[in-house]
């Protein structure tokens, strides 16, 4: 369908709120609910839309003359024909109170430019890539862990995901399982991708905050890897502000320096946006 034809269809569905200029109107392909507070969804990808794995984009709904847009990390890799997102549901959240009700066939708005610091370009070359996340902060890493370029640049890739409850870990568990079984890059990641999930408020195979697990050395012990070394390790951090602050202090203590698109270095951070 051409962009014009697509906009016509959408305008027909919601005649009172035309699609704003310069915004893509995409169709919801699938929705999956994990808990009362977490869901993922996939939408069509505009043909012209390019992004780097790990970036975020502004998402909205065609439900107002001036729709509310929020930053969402793209959870699908840059080669995927569709776009995937992982979201919280906030009962009175300006966007998520509506977004959590989307169904296949509905329209989601997306601004045209993607951006972000959790990209491979913002890191200097290294051997091990640590992707440290809490909650929906896993989203940019869901993209990077499925991108072959990540494995071209790093020998080993470790995804840590910490949530309060076990059910919140399901999205990441399934991603990790599907990655290893993936016909395209399963072989490439074999023995090189490590998924380290912990719950903090329920019993689980592994428990505790990632900060405590780094400080005690248990994370490294469990994985059979040496502690952070600026010569070898590169770190990406995504989650709540508090978690970022505390993990950042730990990696800085290990001698890593913060990088950006303009000045790549040894670690990068980004908060998980929607709250
Ligand atoms: P905890 O249950 O001990 O608070 P939230 O839902 O508040 O964003 O938390 C998501 C996960 O991140 C929870 O498992 C939480 O642990 C953990 N967490 C919260 N704050 C920090 C922090 N400052 N450092 C490390 N982990 C944190």
Q: What is the pLDDT of residues 73-132, one digit of tens each?
A: 999 999 999 999 999 999 999 999 999 999 999 999 999 999 999 999 999 999 999 999
Query: How would you label 88-105 residue by residue, b for 16+ Cβ within 10 Å and e otherwise?
Result: bbeeebebbeebbebeee
- pLDDT, residue 141, reads 98
**What's the pTM value of the predicted model, to 2 decimals?**
0.93
The answer to whether position 133 is within a domain reads: yes
258 shares a domain with 127 = yes
90 shares a domain with 21 = yes
Cβ–Cβ < 8 Å for 251, 219: no
65 shares a domain with 142 = no
The pLDDT of 10-21, averaged and rounded, is 65
Range of the domain at 138: 120-269
160 shares a domain with 90 = no
103 shares a domain with 25 = yes
**Ligand 1 atom 19: residue of nearest CA:** 243
Distance of CA 113 from the midpoint of ligand 1 (Å) = 31
Of all atoms in ligand 1, which is nearest to the CA of residue 201? Answer: 2
**Neighbour order of strands in the sheet with 233-239:** 193-199, 156-163, 128-134, 233-239, 267-271
Q: pLDDT tens digits for 171-209?
A: 999 999 999 999 889 999 999 999 999 999 999 999 999
Partners of 87 in the beta sheet? 39
Cβ–Cβ < 8 Å for 252, 228: no
130 token code pair: 């640590």
193 shares a domain with 127 = yes
Work out the pLDDT band at 15, boundaries 50, 70, 90. very low
196 shares a domain with 94 = no
Q: For residue 148, is pLDDT > 90?
A: yes
Q: Does residue 207's CB lie within 6 angstroms of at least one atom of ligand 1?
A: no
175 shares a domain with 56 = no
């Amino acid at each position: 369908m051409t962009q014009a034809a697509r906009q016509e269809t959408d305008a027909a569905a919601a005649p009172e709120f035309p699609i704003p200029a310069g915004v893509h109107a995409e169709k919801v392909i699938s929705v999956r609910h994990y808990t009362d507070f977490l869901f993922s969804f996939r939408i069509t990808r505009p043909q012209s839309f390019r992004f780097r794995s790990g970036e975020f984009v502004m998402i909205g709904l065609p439900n107002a003359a001036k729709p509310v847009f929020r930053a969402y990390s793209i959870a699908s890799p840059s080669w995927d024909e569709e776009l995937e997102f992982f979201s919280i549901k906030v009962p009175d959240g300006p966007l998520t109170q509506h977004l959590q009700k989307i169904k296949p066939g509905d329209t989601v708005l997306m601004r045209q430019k993607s951006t972000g610091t959790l990209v491979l370009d913002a890191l200097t070359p290294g051997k091990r890539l640590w992707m440290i996340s809490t909650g929906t902060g896993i989203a940019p890493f869901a993209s990077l862990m499925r991108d072959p370029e990540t494995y071209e640049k790093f020998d080993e890739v470790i995804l840590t995901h910490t949530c309060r409850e076990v059910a919140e870990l399901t999205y990441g568990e399934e991603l990790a399982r599907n990655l290893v079984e993936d016909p395209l890059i399963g072989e490439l990641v074999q023995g090189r991708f490590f998924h380290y999930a912990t719950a903090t408020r329920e019993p689980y195979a592994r428990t505790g905050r990632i900060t405590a697990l780094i400080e005690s050395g248990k994370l490294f012990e469990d994985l059979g890897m040496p502690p952070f070394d600026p010569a070898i390790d590169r770190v990406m951090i995504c989650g709540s502000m508090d978690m970022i602050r505390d993990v950042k202090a730990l990696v800085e203590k290990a001698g890593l320096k913060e990088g950006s698109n303009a000045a790549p270095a040894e670690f990068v951070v980004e908060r998980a946006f929607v709250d």
